[in-house]
Chains A and B, each alone.
Chain A
Amino acid sequence: MRKVDLLIIGGGSAGLAAAVEAYDRGIRSIIIIERGAELGGILNQCIHNGFGLGEFKEELTGPEFAYRFAKQVQDRNIECHLLSTVTSVTPNKVVTYVNEEEGSVEVEAKAIIMAAGCYERNAGAIGVPGDRPAGVLTAGQAQLMINKFGYLCGKRIFILGSGDIGLIMARRFTLEGAKVLGVAEIMPYSNGLNRNIVQCLNDYDIPLYLSHTVSQVIGKKHVEKVEISQVDEKFRPIPGTEKVFDCDALVLSIGLIPNNTLLSDIGIKVSGTKGAEVDQYLQTSLPGVFSCGNVLHVHDLVDNVVKEARIAGESAARYIQGDLHVEEYDISCAAKDGVGYILPQHISGSDYEKVDFKLRVRKPTQNVYIEFIYNGETIKRVFKGVIIPSEMEVISLPLSLFKEKKGALEVKLTPKEVNQ
């Protein structure tokens, strides 16, 4: 069986940035396994601009950003297998991948970085009521069709869900000459970035129906109409609020889910994000297996993906070099009041001076402190005038704040008034 030091699952921005980091820290035996025909992952179909302001200090489109990272990997001669799919990982870190040329191949790796991205929730996942005609598709599928193959999925399009991909696609459809009739969002606020509401909906007078959902899909062979209704606080359609739109496509932008089954299948612990549980090295519950990017938790900014991937790359390199120390610290981290999730879930080692905490709030909130409570004592408070679920917060804390090196950290929101 072939043996390598580091095997990376997925050649998107996370996998590429992790590979470059590990290489630059001295690891030479690296292979990247990528299912698609090119490196770069989801970025290749995101032709809009707005990537990489942090990384390159300029605003790039997705393909341009992907190309820069792919080039860094190629310049280092890192081995990449395209059109190759990882089908299993074992607890002994034997990875099986398949492709047309080599068939099924087993590789034993000293370390694995999981960087397989996420997938989209589809109509089945939320049980859209009504007929099951053609013309119901996810925003990512519609994006791939138009941006890589030149096919527009409809002429009169309705969008369910206000995630970023849906917003970006509303503009894209409009520019290509389709009529976007509206976007329905079940929550009372949008799940997309503010800038996308402004430049994708408002710029083109596309209505956003908050607290609305699709209550009926109508069509024999192909979508003919969708009916939307306002929802009550329990998200049930309110009778009498129906609106019907004549349309030929229903596009869903209703959430992304980490593509983590290769790890969860072998019992690697899963967190509330549906990605793996990790410590600050981004090491999972199976030593030597690391995770980063959208497979760990869904990111809105590629800059954050890249930073996270570099940590995974460095940690994997240290692990391979026998220089990753996990003994000294043992702290659990939990999300409490108002905080949806916190990453990492565990602090284990002492090799990095800082811990990058990442969190999302449950709902839009104003004038609050993000409070870090360690063994009952507040060690850090960060004030936020506005904080919204669609924007991930990154807060770096020095490891030295955790004096006892053991115990529990809780992160929660506290209203400002209470503290004064």
Chain B
Amino acid sequence: MEKNLICICCPRGCHLTVDENMSVSGNFCPRGAKYAIDELTHPTRIVTSTVKVNDGSYSVCSVKTASPVPKEKIFEVMEEINKVELKAPVSIGDIVIKNVLNLSVDIIATENIELVK
């Protein structure tokens, strides 16, 4: 059975077709082919959110999973993210949670938060 998907790897959103032999067409770049196969076998997503920061220039700091996590784990990952509180300063790339849920993926900060006394 042919399957139609929309690639979500970048905003271009290519329309992909996967045939019975798992060969992919419609992708503008190689990432689309990998996405289609992954999506049909084990779908994953990057999760982005915010965590609470104390003494910072803002009260929350944006974070992301450093690489995609299994789609069915998104809400569990969110629960872990929501448990964390940071203390300013925070720098882009700081590890906020190491190896979240043993998925071999870190949660990292995606913005700088300055210390405000």
Contact = CB atoms under 8 A, between A and B. Distances in A.
A175 B13 contact: no
Given A61-B110, A67-B92, A203-B71, A47 B47 contact: no
Interface string A179-205: 000000000000001110111000100
Contacts, number: 80
B8 A198 contact: yes
Interface in A41-81: 44, 47-50, 53, 59-61, 63-64, 67
A391 to B, nearest CB: 7
A47 B51 CA distance: 12
A386 interface: yes
Interface string A133-149: 00000000000001111
A150 interface: yes
B117 to A, nearest CB: 17
A391 B112 CA distance: 32
B62 A47 contact: yes
A368 to B, nearest CB: 16
Contact of A61 (B12, B62, B71): B62
A259 B64 CA distance: 31
B50 A195 contact: no
B60 A63 contact: no
B66 to A, nearest CB: 11
Given A44-B111, A63-B111, A199 B11 contact: no
A199 B71 CA distance: 10
A377 B75 CA distance: 57
Interface residues of A, number: 30
Interface residues on B, range: 20 to 34
A391 B13 contact: yes
A64 B48 contact: no
Contacts of A64: 92, 110-111
A301 interface: yes
Interface in A255-313: 300-301
Interface in B62-109: 62, 64, 71, 74-75, 78, 92
Interface string B1-25: 0000011111111010000000000
A147 B64 contact: no
Contacts of A199: 8, 45
A199 B43 CA distance: 11
Given A64-B111, A203-B71, A195 B13 contact: yes
A48 B13 contact: no
Given A149-B58, A175-B78, A47 B10 contact: no
Given A63-B62, A63-B111, A149-B58, A47 B11 contact: no
Residue in A44, A60, A175, A301 with the greatest tally of chain B CB atoms within 10 Å: A175
A61 B15 CA distance: 23
Given A61-B64, A64-B111, A47 B50 contact: yes
Contacts of A149: 58-60
Given A67-B111, A147-B62, A198-B8, A47 B48 contact: yes
Contacts of A60: 110
Given A61-B62, A150-B59, A194 B48 contact: no
Contacts of B115: none
A301 B111 contact: no
Given A147-B62, A150-B52, A175-B78, A50 B10 contact: yes
A59 B46 CA distance: 10
Contacts of B50: 47, 146-147, 150
A199 B9 CA distance: 10
Contacts of B74: 175
Contacts of A53: 9-11
Interface in B23-59: 45-50, 52, 58-59
A176 B106 CA distance: 20
A53 B30 CA distance: 13
Given A49-B46, A175-B74, A203-B45, A150 B60 contact: yes
27 contacts: A47-B49, A47-B50, A47-B64, A47-B110, A47-B111, A48-B48, A49-B48, A53-B9, A53-B10, A59-B10, A59-B46, A63-B110, A67-B112, A146-B50, A147-B62, A149-B58, A150-B50, A175-B49, A175-B74, A175-B75, A194-B13, A195-B6, A195-B12, A195-B13, A198-B8, A300-B11, A391-B13
Given A195-B6, A391-B12, 4 more contacts: A49-B48, A59-B46, A147-B60, A391-B13
Interface of B: 6-13, 15, 45-50, 52, 58-60, 62, 64, 71, 74-75, 78, 92, 110-112
